[in-house]
């Protein structure tokens, strides 16, 4: 282990990100624009690291806030960036000055847009989240024209395209979106240049959702949006060879021998069933290693699984390494990702996936990845 590395860190594979971006571009076809969604610290992977890796494949980047857009511009100053979340009126002039696209999702937001803003109008089609309803759409478009803004794009989000193999609701949303595009063309006097609806699931499954641009997030990082999406992709023969790009690592801080019956961690919730060894790891729920993994999670030590013992602490947790010979302080531990059975040998590999961790804490792979503490170093490898 390099002496320059911290005690807990994240490695991001440049090759995996580029591979996934290329796979997605090939699936989309040559006429579509790929927007790499790098909001929420690039789904935990690090904005700067991800942009550096994929800027040759993605010409657009999607973020949630202007602050994230400014991070992208530091790495890729000529890139096209769309803020998908709200932009406060006090930040809009900065967005215009830096050439960042702004999304508008209500008539009230349209009234605050400065002259010269490049707008992507978000329309409500059935998610019941941000978005202009069909009834308010003509008024909102006229407001934007009056204020001297340019409506470059129009978009929506699907409410039920990942979690089901029945996509009737999504098709209904698509129909409503097409109707909104017709309204926009009548009000603006010309077609919207960049309509877009395709998230990862839609981009991989439904060519009819592609339009001019696809907003791809979770699949860019090597993960299927859901089991149902993968099932649907197999049925449609649209399965891509995605490669997870993130490996989350820590190191063994201490190894101690413990007797049978010894309680481990706060609350005395778990005891050693037999005499053995415990490894203390300097990572806890502050780092994003979910407390729900207490007593059920596993990590990789020397390529073999070691069970979390007792409650996960704020900055530490303990694992049972009784059956793994030779474990000592300083050994590398993988919390998420792959590890060779003998570190450095490459012979045989264990793996902990984001999907496995999500299943143990009753959530989704998105949350597991994005909740890794953003202050932990991201290292592009």
Q: How many residues does the chain have?
A: 381
- Which residue among 146, 256, 266, 277 is the active-site one? 266
- The verdict on whether 285 is a catalytic residue reads no
* E-state strands within 126-193: 150-155
Give the pLDDT confidence score for residue 274 in this predicted structure. 97
Query: What are the phi and psi torsion angles at 226 (to 5°)?
Result: -170, 165
- Sequential DSSP letters for 180-236: HHHHHHHHHSS--SEEE-B-HHHHHH-GGG-TTEEEE-GGGGT--S-HHHHHHHHHT
Helix %, strand %, coil % of the chain (to 5): 35, 25, 40
Six-digit token pair at 209?
Answer: 């959702």
Name the residue ranges covered by the structural domains of the chain: 14-235, 246-352
Give the pLDDT confidence score for residue 222 in this predicted structure. 98
Q: What is the pLDDT along the chain (381 residues), one digit of tens a residue?
A: 455 668 999 999 999 999 999 999 999 988 899 999 999 999 999 999 999 999 999 999 999 999 999 999 999 999 999 999 999 999 999 999 999 999 999 999 999 999 999 999 999 999 999 999 999 999 999 999 999 999 999 999 999 999 899 999 999 999 999 999 999 999 999 999 999 999 999 999 999 999 999 999 999 999 999 999 999 889 888 889 999 999 999 999 999 999 999 999 999 999 999 999 999 999 999 999 999 999 999 999 999 999 999 999 999 999 999 999 999 999 999 999 999 986 565 567 899 999 999 999 999 999 999 999 999 999 999
Q: What is the DSSP letter of 114?
A: P
Contacts of 270 (CB under 8 A, 6+ apart): 263, 264, 295, 309, 310
Task: Count Cβ atoms below 10 Å from residue 29 Cβ, excluding itself.
Answer: 10
Task: Could you please state the CATH topology (level 3) that the domain comprising 14-235 is classified under.
Answer: TIM Barrel (3.20.20)
Give the pLDDT confidence score for residue 344 in this predicted structure. 60
Task: Count Cβ atoms below 10 Å from residue 69 Cβ, excluding itself.
Answer: 28
Give the pLDDT confidence score for residue 224 in this predicted structure. 96
Phi-psi category of 315—alpha, beta or left, where left has phi over 0 and alpha has psi -120 to 50?
Answer: alpha
* E-state strands within 97-148: 101-104, 118-122
- The verdict on whether 39 is a catalytic residue reads yes
- Which residue among 39, 80, 249, 277 is the active-site one? 39
Report the distance separating Cα 119 and Cα 176, nearest Å. Answer: 20
Q: Which helix (H) or strand (E) holds 97?
A: helix 89-98
Report the distance separating Cα 235 and Cα 98, nearest Å. Answer: 44
Task: Could you please state the CATH topology (level 3) that the domain comprising 246-352 is classified under.
Answer: Lyase, Ornithine Decarboxylase; Chain A, domain 1 (2.40.37)
Report the distance separating Cα 45 and Cα 31, nearest Å. Answer: 28
Report the distance separating Cα 238 and Cα 200, nearest Å. Answer: 12
Contacts of 211 (CB under 8 A, 6+ apart): 194, 195, 196, 197, 198
Among residues 38, 58, 62, 24, which one has the least CA distance to residue 196? 62
Question: Angle of helix 137-146 relative to helix 168-188, nearest 10 degrees?
Answer: 40
Query: What are the phi and psi torsion angles at 333 (to 5°)?
Result: -125, 135
Among all chains, which residue has been given the structure tokens 């109008």? 121
Among residues 290, 304, 372, 370, which one has the least CA distance to residue 334? 304
Q: Which residues pair with 59 in a beta bridge?
A: none
Give the pLDDT confidence score for residue 53 in this predicted structure. 97
């Amino acid at each position: 282990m390099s002496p320059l590395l911290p005690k807990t860190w994240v490695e991001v594979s440049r090759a995996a990100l580029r591979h996934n971006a290329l796979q997605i571009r090939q699936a989309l076809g040559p006429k579509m624009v790929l927007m790499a969604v790098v909001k929420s610290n690039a789904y935990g992977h690090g904005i700067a690291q991800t942009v550096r890796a994929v800027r040759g494949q993605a010409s657009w980047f999607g973020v949630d806030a202007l602050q994230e857009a400014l991070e992208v511009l530091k790495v890729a100053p000529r890139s096209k960036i769309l803020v998908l979340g709200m932009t406060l009126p006090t930040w809009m002039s900065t967005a215009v000055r830096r050439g960042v696209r702004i999304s508008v999702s209500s008539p009230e937001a349209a009234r605050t847009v400065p002259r010269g803003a490049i707008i992507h109008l978000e329309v409500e089609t059935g998610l019941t989240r941000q978005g202009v309803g069909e009834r308010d759409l003509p008024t909102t478009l006229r407001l934007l024209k009056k204020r001297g803004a340019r409506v470059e794009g129009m978009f929506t989000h699907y409410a039920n395209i990942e979690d089901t193999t029945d996509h009737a609701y999504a098709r209904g949303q698509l129909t409503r979106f097409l109707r909104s595009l017709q309204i926009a063309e009548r009000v603006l006097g010309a077609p919207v240049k960049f309509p877009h609806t395709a998230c990862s699931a839609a981009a991989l499954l439904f060519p009819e959702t592609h339009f001019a641009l696809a907003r791809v997030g979770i699949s860019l990082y090597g993960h299927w949006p859901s089991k149902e999406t993968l099932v649907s992709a197999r049925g449609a023969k649209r399965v891509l060879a995605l490669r997870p790009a993130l490996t989350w690592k820590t190191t063994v801080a201490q190894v101690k021998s413990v007797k049978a019956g010894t309680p481990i961690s706060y609350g005395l919730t778990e005891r050693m069933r037999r005499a053995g060894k415990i490894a203390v790891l300097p990572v806890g729920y502050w780092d994003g290693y979910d407390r729900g993994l207490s007593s059920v999670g596993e990590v990789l030590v020397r390529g073999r699984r070691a069970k979390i013992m007792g409650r996960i602490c704020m900055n530490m947790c303990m694992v049972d390494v009784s059956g793994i010979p030779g474990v000592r302080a300083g050994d590398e531990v993988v919390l998420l990702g792959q590890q060779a059975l003998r570190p450095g040998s490459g012979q045989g590999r264990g793996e902990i996936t984001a999907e496995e961790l999500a299943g143990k804490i009753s959530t989704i792979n998105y949350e597991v990845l994005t909740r890794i503490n953003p202050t932990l170093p991201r290292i592009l490898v």
